[in-house]
Amino acid sequence: MHGNIIVGQSGGPTSVINSSLVGVYKTAKDRGAKKVYGMLHGIKGLLDDQYVDLSEHIKTDLDIDLLKRTPSSFLGSCRYKLPSISEGKEVYEKIFAKLKELDIEAFFYIGGNDSMDTIKKLSDYAILVDSNIKFMGVPKTIDNDLATTDHTPGYGSAAKYIAAVTKEIIRDGLVYDYPQFTIIEIMGRNAGWLTAAAALSKSEDCEGVDMIFLPEVPFDIDNFMEKVKELSKKKNSIVIAISEGIKVADGRYVFELADHVSFTDAFGHKQLSGSAKFLANKIGAELGVKTRAIELSTLQRSAAHMTSRVDITEAFQVGGAAVKAAFEGETGKVIVLERVSDDPYICITNSQDVRKIANIEKKVPVEWIINDNTYVSDELIHYIRPLIQAELSPVMVDGLPRHLKLNL
């Protein structure tokens, strides 16, 4: 490899997404790439002529260590949907002209299923214009909803954070001797993988959450209220985990049952927020008890002080594997993780055709949702547990985790 490469980050960030960036950067440099460019705000930035030479921003081994531990996309992100090739030829011409000007031999995009749509379209266009540039997807998303991969980098750390704070919330709830409900709202859009991680809170030292509601099955409010009333007769502190994406049978999100204005992004995704508040208010009004709604919101995807070492290591590996594959001639592919063994936990990387991944959402199998749709099965817990293992300590400066800042 004697030319240059370019890398971008796209979609919602994770706490280990920069470990993948380091994986791409370091592996490309080690394998002889001249320059490693970084798009600012993904493909949108490239279209606006915004990019950096990463060597000017990652200068020392300490920078590498800090960047791995820095949450949220170092290069900035975007939720930009490329037009179809037939409708937006000029956009593709502009991107390919830019790539030619920068002497790019391989293009890497770190993202989820929407971002893989970008890799798919760019690799399709490369075939059309007979370009030799290689296009590779590097998977990431806390939602864990990418098809054909055992799991996605970013998920394990978010799951670890969710399980840990859920334990703390449950413990906090035990202090008073009067009834109270806490509803925890967890991200994941239309897939319940993240919400399921609340089940890991149950351990020798913690009774765990009382109910878990995933978006894979319709949410029945009457049934929910009945269960809530039954629980309130048995104990004081009740903690319930819900997915931000739970929907009632007619297809409306629960938060849409309240007066709610929601932002919609370029991929048509509504901003999902407010279901916990809606349900907490309803319980408060009907039962006359104290309630709290806790939205974990961006905390769960930026908690770099509590990453899983398994996750941060795999995030690096998928970045490196993408570079290796591209340098060996692969294109139009995404790196996937294959679980070879559970005990001991072993995962290897492989590459998969991007067409089998782009725009597809992998959901929790419904047979893993149990107890009248109010909890998750042991199989699901068994699947998640290896992904949250071990830690990588932050570099602490002046009492706080230190991050690497992009100085422009």
Contacts of 2 (CB under 8 A, 6+ apart): 32, 34
Q: Is 143 annotated in the active site? A: yes
Alpha helices (H) in 69-216, listed in sequence order: 89-101, 113-128, 155-173, 193-196
Residue 188 Cβ, how far from ligand F6P at the closest point, in Å? 5
Q: Which is nearer to ligand F6P, 81 or 324 (CB)?
A: 81
Among 4, 5, 10, 12, binds ligand F6P (CB under 6 A): 12
Contacts of 193 (CB under 8 A, 6+ apart): 143, 144, 145, 155, 159, 364, 384
Site map 97..116 versus ligand F6P, x via CB under 6 A: ---------------x----
Residue 191 Cβ, how far from ligand F6P at the closest point, in Å? 9
**CB burial readout 4-23, b (16+ within 10 A) else e:** bbbbbbbbbbbbbbbbbbbb
Contacts of 149 (CB under 8 A, 6+ apart): 139, 334, 336, 337, 338, 352, 357
Closest of 264, 272, 314, 316 to residue 297, by C-alpha? 272
Binding segment for ligand F6P among 15-23, 101-109, 135-143, 323-331 (CB under 6 A)?
135-143
Per-residue DSSP letter, 264? B
Nearest residue to ligand F6P, by Cβ distance, number only: 12
CB 218 within 8 A of CB 248: yes
Residue 142 Cβ, how far from ligand F6P at the closest point, in Å? 5
The C-alpha angle with vertex 395 and arms to 391 and 400, in degrees rounded to 5, equals: 105
Secondary structure string (H, E, C) spanning 11-24: CCCCCCHHHHHHHH
Q: Which is nearer to ligand F6P, 134 or 301 (CB)?
A: 301
Classify residue 142 as exposed, middle or buried by CB count within 10 Å of its CB (0-12, 13-18, 19+): buried
Binding segment for ligand F6P among 186-194, 235-243, 275-283, 382-390 (CB under 6 A)?
186-194
Residue 30 Cβ, how far from ligand F6P at the closest point, in Å? 30
Site map 292..331 versus ligand F6P, x via CB under 6 A: ---------x------------------------------
Residue 271 Cβ, how far from ligand F6P at the closest point, in Å? 5
d(CA 24, CA 6): 9
Residue 155 Cβ, how far from ligand F6P at the closest point, in Å? 10
Site map 56..95 versus ligand F6P, x via CB under 6 A: -----------------------x----------------
d(CA 116, CA 333): 9
Does residue 189 interact with ligand F6P by CB under 6 A?
yes
Binding segment for ligand F6P among 62-70, 184-192, 311-319, 349-357 (CB under 6 A)?
184-192
Secondary structure string (H, E, C) spanning 18-55: HHHHHHHHHHHHHCCCCCEEEECCHHHHHHCCCEEEHH
Does residue 137 interact with ligand F6P by CB under 6 A?
no
Alpha-carbon distances, residue 216 vs 189, 210, 367, 370 (angstroms): 10, 19, 11, 12
Does residue 187 interact with ligand F6P by CB under 6 A?
yes
d(CA 407, CA 76): 12
Q: Which is nearer to ligand F6P, 41 or 189 (CB)?
A: 189
d(CA 232, CA 286): 12
Does residue 41 interact with ligand F6P by CB under 6 A?
no
Residue 282 Cβ, how far from ligand F6P at the closest point, in Å? 22
Does residue 272 interact with ligand F6P by CB under 6 A?
yes
The residue from 117, 143, 210, 311 that is catalytic is: 143
Does residue 271 interact with ligand F6P by CB under 6 A?
yes
Amino acid making up residue 407: N
Site map 247..266 versus ligand F6P, x via CB under 6 A: ------------------x-
Among 7, 9, 11, 57, binds ligand F6P (CB under 6 A): 11
Alpha helices (H) in 199-298, listed in sequence order: 221-234, 275-287
Does residue 277 interact with ligand F6P by CB under 6 A?
no
Binding segment for ligand F6P among 141-149, 209-217, 371-379, 380-388 (CB under 6 A)?
141-149
- Footprint of ligand F6P (CB under 6 A): 11-12, 79, 112, 141-143, 187-189, 244, 265, 271-272, 301
Cite the active site residues.
143
